[in-house]
A and B are shown apart, each in its own frame.
Chain A
Amino acid sequence: MSQRDPEPRRVALLWISALVLVVASVGLAFREEAAHQGEARQQAEAQTEVLAGSVSAALSFDDETAMRQDLSALMRNPQVSAAAIYGTDGRQLALMARPDAGPAPARLAGPEDMQANGRDLVARPVVEQGSRLGFVYVQTAREDLSAFVARHTGLVILTLLALMLLTFMTSTAARLATANLRLNEEIEARAAAEDALRQSQKLEALGQLTGGIAHDFNNLLQAIRGAFELILGKAADEKVVRRWARNGLEASDRGASLTRQLLAFSRQQKLELKPLIVADTLAGMGDMLARTLGPKIELVFDLDEERVPVMSDATQLELAVMNMAVNARDAMPGGGRLTVRSRKVALSGDAVLPSGSYIELQVIDTGEGMPLHVMRRAFDPFYTTKALGKGTGLGLAQVYGVARQAGGDARIASAPGAGTTVTLMLSEASGEAAGPAEAPEAAAAAPSVAAGATVLLVDDDEAVRVVVRGGLEARGFKVLDANGGEAALQLAARGPQIAVIDYAMPGMDGAQTAERLRRALPQLPIILASGHPDTAAVERALGGSATIVRKPFDIAKLAETLTTMLARSA
Chain B
Amino acid sequence: MRRLGAALAAGLFAGGAQAAPPLELAVKAAYIAKFAPFVVWPSSAFAGPRAPLVVCVQGDDPFDGMLERMAAGQNVGAHPLVVRRVARLDPESGCQIAYLAGSAAQSPAAALKAVEGQPVLTVTDGDSSRGIVHLVLVGDRVRFLIDAGKAGQSRLGISSKLLALAAEVKR
Contacts and interface: CB of A to CB of B under 8 A. Distances in A.
**B and A form one assembly:** yes
A61 interface: yes
Contacts of B34: 60-61
B77 interface: yes
Given A61-B31, A61-B34, A130 B165 contact: no
Contacts of B74: 131
B2 interface: no
Interface stretch (A39-47, A51-59, A159-167, A388-396): A51-59
A271 interface: no
Contact of B38 (A54, A57, A66, A130): A57
A534 interface: no
A129 B76 contact: yes
A57 B162 contact: yes
A63 interface: yes
B161 interface: yes
B76 A57 contact: no
A66 B75 contact: no
A58 B76 CA distance: 17
Contacts of B38: 56-57, 60, 128-129
A534 B161 CA distance: 122
B134 to A, nearest CB: 14
Q: Which of A54, A61, A131 has the most CB of B within 10 A?
A: A61
Contacts of B78: 130
B46 to A, nearest CB: 13
Contacts of B165: 57-58, 61, 63, 66
Contacts of B37: 56, 60, 128-131, 133
Contacts of B36: 129, 131
B164 interface: yes
Contact of B161 (A57, A130, A131): A57
A130 B77 contact: yes
Nearest to A54: B161
Q: Which of A58, A63, A130 has the most CB of B within 10 A?
A: A130
Chain A interface: which size bin? 10 to 19
B114 to A, nearest CB: 27
Interface in B30-55: 31, 34, 36-38
A131 B76 contact: yes
A129 B36 CA distance: 9
Nearest to A63: B165
Nearest to A58: B165
A66 to B, nearest CB: 6
Nearest to A64: B141
A530 to B, nearest CB: 129
B76 A66 contact: no
Nearest to B163: A57
B159 interface: yes
B159 to A, nearest CB: 7
A56 B164 CA distance: 11
A57 B77 contact: no
B35 to A, nearest CB: 9
B77 A66 contact: no
Contacts of A130: 37, 75-78
A66 B34 CA distance: 16
A66 B165 CA distance: 7
A520 B77 CA distance: 143
Interface string B69-103: 00000111110000000000000000000000000
A129 B161 CA distance: 13
Contacts of A60: 34, 37-38
Nearest to B160: A57
A56 B161 contact: yes
Interface in A115-144: 128-131, 133
A298 to B, nearest CB: 125
A57 B165 CA distance: 7
A88 B88 CA distance: 35
A131 B161 CA distance: 15
B75 A131 contact: yes
A128 B37 CA distance: 6
A509 B21 CA distance: 155
Contacts of A56: 37-38, 161
Contacts of B161: 54, 56-58, 128
Contacts of B162: 57
A160 B34 CA distance: 62
A59 B141 CA distance: 15
Interface in A44-84: 54, 56-58, 60-61, 63, 66
A57 B159 contact: yes
Interface in B1-59: 31, 34, 36-38
Nearest to B81: A131
B104 to A, nearest CB: 32
A54 B160 CA distance: 10
Nearest to B165: A57
A66 B162 CA distance: 11
Nearest to A53: B161
Contacts of A61: 31, 34, 165
A374 B48 CA distance: 117
B15 to A, nearest CB: 27
Contacts of B75: 130-131
Given A60-B34, A129-B76, A131-B76, 16 more contacts: A57-B38, A57-B164, A58-B161, A60-B38, A61-B31, A61-B165, A63-B165, A66-B164, A66-B165, A128-B38, A129-B38, A130-B75, A130-B76, A130-B78, A131-B36, A133-B37
25 contacts: A56-B38, A56-B161, A57-B162, A57-B165, A58-B161, A58-B165, A60-B37, A60-B38, A61-B31, A61-B34, A61-B165, A63-B165, A66-B164, A128-B159, A128-B161, A129-B37, A129-B38, A129-B76, A130-B75, A130-B76, A130-B77, A131-B36, A131-B37, A131-B75, A131-B76
Interface of A: 54, 56-58, 60-61, 63, 66, 128-131, 133
In the A-B complex, list the 6 residue pairs whose CB atoms are closest, starting with the nearest.
A57-B161, A128-B37, A129-B37, A60-B34, A131-B37, A57-B165
